[in-house]
Amino acid sequence: MSWWLLLVLAALTYASRAAGLALLPAPPTRLERLLARIPAPLFAGFVALSLVSPDRSVASVPVLGATAGALCVVPTRSFPIVLVGGMAGYAIASALT
């Protein structure tokens, strides 16, 4: 994955979330409570899928570094900070390999 592609994907992800918050009306209270519980398990599922390659082997070192970098900053509960943590982990792991 190239740096420009990584930055474009991060920008698109952040922009889509920001647009959804700014443009869509607030969901009903019951739906909002349900949606508040979904992101963490959904994110965990995406991470688990990205850690295994199609041939059922462990993902590359940069992908593992990105995961570690994102997990280090998850307690901040800030999406932009988690994105930056993942990009930093990817960059460090790429530089070391």
Q: Mean pLDDT by 10-residue block, N- to C-terminus, for the chain (97 residues)?
A: 84 84 84 76 77 84 91 84 91 94
Tokens of 79: 């999406």
Residues 6+ apart with CB under 8 A from 45: none
Tokens 């991470």 locate to: 47
Q: How far apart are CA 30 and CA 83, in angstroms?
A: 29
The pLDDT, as a whole number, for residue 66 is: 92
Candidates 11, 1, 31; CA nearest to 80 is 11
The pLDDT, as a whole number, for residue 93 is: 95
14 near 83, Cβ under 8 Å?
Answer: yes
Structural domain spans, the chain:
26-96
